[in-house]
Structure 1
Amino acid sequence: MTLHQTLRRYAETFPGDPHVVACLAFLEEAERPFDREHVTGHFTGSAWLVSGDGERVLLTHHRKLQRWLQLGGHADGDSDLAAVALREAEEESGLQGLTVEPGIFDVDRHWIPERKHEPGHWHYDVRYIVRAGEHEDFLVSDESLELAWVAIRELAEAHDTDESLRRMARKWLASSA
């Protein structure tokens, strides 16, 4: 199934979601939407990396953005964003035996501010559920200042964190109820 098809299916499940509307429009209009060199914006793939018991999510204290976020990164030309999310989760956590679930879990369009020689641009972030395997002992990569397993229930109620993290936490809790 193509990204366009999976985004359309997601849009049917979450009608009126402005993030998916923006992602679909960008996908249809952009010449190279999966390339980092597309200066106005590009697609990224992220992982909602949940623990084996489904109670915690692994977050990164992102080195460049100085914020706690889900794991993920640039597609670098790859239109299979589920594979991108899985690859990024493995690279950023050092965890082995991860599995990605089919279907989109969440989408988000967010602004990345200008940094050094990189102009400000949009990330069209497609997020997938990735499940930890038997081992949950992570390794911190160069992209992170720190990693931490965070209770999803606490994240859903936190007022001092990123709104998209709270949204994903609420979605997770609603789907597992």
Structure 2
Amino acid sequence: MSLIDDIRAYRPFNQQEAADRAVILRQLEADPQVFDRSSLAHMTCSIWTVDPTAAKTLMVYHNVYRSWSWIGGHADGERDLARVALRELAEETGVASARIMPCGPRGIYSLEVLTVDGHEKRGRYVGSHLHLNVTYLAVASPNAPLRPKPDENSGVRWVPLEKVCALSTEPWMATRIYRKLIDKLATVDIPPARMC
């Protein structure tokens, strides 16, 4: 199966996911460049990483957004977004031993269309655009060594779930996305011994 088939098979958790799933599918069907960031609306992925007790999540202090946030990145031509998400996790936090949970079709945990305002990155202006985002749920040990990726973030830490929304300085992300991701954890059985 392809990513588009996985997204078609994915069951939305709420109205936001249902609406965003429709947008993502339309763009996947219509834009052959959707996996490249040169497209105005392009594919990205995030990885919501929790400890084995699902009491904490791994967050980074994102330099562009100036907020504590989840981990993720651009597809940049890659169609296996789960692999991209794990790579981004390792690059941005140093955690290389996480395992993706089998939540939905091929591990899809959540879907989002995220607006990105124009900003400076590495000395260049990046125009406003849309991230067509696929989120994966991963489990990792809170004892794994952490390290930031200075060109992307200036901090990495495990955050208790009850503090995530207050820690974010992005109100829409906190109330619409992070709250949803936390609430969805109640629907997932995380095997304590296997961590996957």
TM range (shorter): 0.7 to 0.9
| Cα distance between partner residues in 2 of 1:91 and 1:159 | 21
**Structure-1 separation of matches of 2:167 and 2:147:** 25
Q: What letter corresponds to residue 19 of structure 2 in structure 1?
A: P
Instruction: Tell me by how many angstroms 1:68 deviates.
Output: 2.0
Deviation at 1:132, TM superposition (A): 0.7
Q: Are residue 123 (structure 1) and residue 131 (structure 2) matched?
A: yes
How many Å apart are 1:29 and its aligned residue? 1.2
Aligned mate of 2:144, from 122, 136, 146: 136
Deviations 1:6-50, CA, capped at 9 Å, x for gaps = 11121x354751111111111111121111122x12111110111
Q: Does 1:170 align with 2:186?
A: no
- 1:155 equivalent to 2:164? Answer yes
The correspondence of residues 65-104 of structure 1 with structure 2, limited to 5 A, is 65-102=65-102, 103-104=107-108
Deviations 1:106-155 (A, max 9, x none): 11101111124221000011000121147333111111122221122443
Computed over aligned residues only, the root mean square deviation of the Cα atoms, in angstroms, reads: 2.3
1:140–1:146: 8 Å Cα contact kept in structure 2? yes
Q: TM-score, normalised by structure 2?
A: 0.80
Q: Which amino acid counterpart does residue 85 of structure 1 have in structure 2? A: A
What percent identity do the matched residue pairs reach? 28
Contact 1:97 1:134 (C-alpha < 8 Å) held by counterparts: no
Please name the residue that 2:113 is paired with. 109
Q: Is the 8 A contact 2:67 2:168 kept in 1?
A: no
Structure 2 gap ranges (5+) = 191-196
Distance 2:46 2:22 in 1: 18
Indicate the SS of the match to 1:105: strand
Aligned partners of 2:25 and 2:127: how far apart in 1? 23
Q: TM-score, normalised by structure 1?
A: 0.88
Q: Aligned with 2:88: secondary structure?
A: helix
1:54 corresponding residue in structure 2 = 54
Q: Which runs of 4+ in 1 moved over 4 A?
A: 156-161
Residue-by-residue CA offset, 1:48-83 (whole Å, 9 max, x unaligned)? 111132211101111111122210101110011111
2:42 and 2:19 map into 1 onto residues whose CA distance is 17
